[in-house]
Structure 1
Amino acid sequence: MSLTIQLQTMLSMLAMGACLGASLDTYGKLTYQPRSFSWVVAIRDFLFWCVHALLIFYVLYQSNMGELRFYVFAALLCGYATYRALLQSVFNYLLDRLIALVVGIIRFIKKSLYYMFIKPIKWILYLISSFCMIVLTIVWKICLVLFSFVWKPVWWLIRPIVRWINGTKQWQRVKPFLIKIKEVGRSVWKKKDTR
């Protein structure tokens, strides 16, 4: 292996060590880490490390055809340590600002969609429901008026029959029973109203 390839490998592994440190910080900020054990978190962490291991091996393969030497691990550790010592505070500051910016944009989009689509739809539905209630109330009152116009002549026609039925003995026997049913119905209705 030539000196140029070794130097290229060391520089790429230094960069990968720094990228690993930045990825760990980003992963820690973007994911929830519960205190108790969770299989979901364990699988997610395992996949995180598998992806980074494959990425590091891919960069190593591009540098020196995948030959593992001691200086490869030393360069990775040096890159990670350099990130922790020099770049971590700056990266975390920029990452926090980026996360706040993205969250602000998402909130702005949600509010814009709400005021552009959802609120007008709610307002239109409220207008439609109010209009329907007005129409139903008018129709109900018209029906009551029409019923009263129809009922009065009918009542004048059947009034003698009702008086005759009231005078019969059979009606006098049935009438107390019907009055009792009426009183029971009223008491049940009052109990429902009090609830």
Structure 2
Amino acid sequence: MSLPVQFYTLLAMIGMGSLFGATLDTYQRFLKRGKRKKWIVFLNDLLFWFIQGIIIFYVLFLVNYGELRFYLFLALLCGFSAYQALFKKIYLKLLESLIQLVKAVARLIYRTFYLLVYKPARGLCILLAAIILYVYGLLLSLVKIVWIMVKWVLKTVFKPFVWILKKVIPESVEKFVVQLRKTIAGYLKGSKNTIIKVMNFFRKKR
């Protein structure tokens, strides 16, 4: 491995060490260990270290085709230490500011959607429902009025015929019809009672 390649590899590993420190702080900021279950924290830690290892090895492969040297681990440690000493406070402030900015933008988008889309759509739906209910009630009232008018017309038209029939049909025939209706009703009631008695009789035989 030539001297320029070694130099570039050293700089790359120092940079990766600093990047690892920033990534670790970002990971800790979003993980919130105290609020998570232990097995979830374990799986997240395992995945984090695996991804970091892949990224570092990929950068190393791009610089010197993946040749490992002992001083490369020292370079990673130096980069991580430099981040902790020089850039950590600045980065955490920037990270927190960025998080707050994203939250503010998300709130703004939500409020804009709520005021410009959701509320008008909701109001329109309520208005349409009110119009439909009003039209339905109006039509129902109209149908009731028409039905009352039809009943009145039919009653008015056929009233003379009913009166004439009452005058034409003898009173004895009217009494006979009433008596026949009572007789049929009594016969049906007696038949019903007879059927019930027969069914109860067969049930007792079982």
TM-score, normalised to structure 1, is 0.73
Give 1:20 shift. 0.4
Q: Equivalent residue for 2:67?
A: 67
Q: Equivalent residue for 2:76?
A: 76
1:15 corresponds to 2:15: yes
Report the RMSD for the aligned CA atoms in angstroms: 2.9
Mapping of 1:127-146 within 5 angstroms? 127-146=127-146
In 2: Cα distance, 1:68 partner to 1:22 partner: 23
Q: Equivalent residue for 1:120?
A: 120
1:24 partner SS: helix
Q: Equivalent residue for 2:199?
A: none
Q: Equivalent residue for 1:36?
A: 38
In 1: Cα distance, 2:84 partner to 2:11 partner: 17
In 1: Cα distance, 2:71 partner to 2:182 partner: 113
Query: For 1:147-170, what per-residue CA distance to the aligned partner results, in whole angstroms no more than 9, with x for missing partners?
Result: 111122444548879xx79x9354
Q: Equivalent residue for 2:97?
A: 97
TM-score, normalised to structure 2, is 0.69
Query: For 1:59-117, what per-residue CA distance to the aligned partner results, in whole angstroms no more than 9, with x for missing partners?
Result: 22233332212111111112112212221111011001001111111221122122222
Going from structure 1 to structure 2, the CA distance change for 1:42 and 1:173 (only over 3 Å counts) comes to farther
In 1: Cα distance, 2:151 partner to 2:23 partner: 84
From 178, 181, 187, the equivalent of 1:168 is 178
Q: Equivalent residue for 2:192?
A: none
**Would you say how many aligned residue pairs link Structure 1 and Structure 2?**
169
| Moved segments of 4+, more than 6 Å | 158-161, 171-174
Give 1:125 shift. 1.2
Q: Equivalent residue for 1:57?
A: 57
Larger Rg: 2
1:149 corresponds to 2:149: yes
In 2: Cα distance, 1:172 partner to 1:82 partner: 113
Q: Which amino acid aligns with 2:96?
A: D
Give 1:21 shift. 0.8
Percent pairwise identity: 33
Q: Please, which runs of 5 or more residues in structure 1 have no aligned partner?
A: 175-195
Going from structure 1 to structure 2, the CA distance change for 1:22 and 1:168 (only over 3 Å counts) comes to same
Query: For 1:111-164, what per-residue CA distance to the aligned partner results, in whole angstroms no more than 9, with x for missing partners?
Result: 212222222111111111111111111111111111111122444548879xx7
In 1: Cα distance, 2:87 partner to 2:13 partner: 16
Which stretch has the larger CA shift, 85-94 or 47-56?
A: 47-56
In 2: Cα distance, 1:136 partner to 1:64 partner: 80
Which stretch has the larger CA shift, 125-134 or 111-120?
A: 111-120
Going from structure 1 to structure 2, the CA distance change for 1:171 and 1:113 (only over 3 Å counts) comes to farther
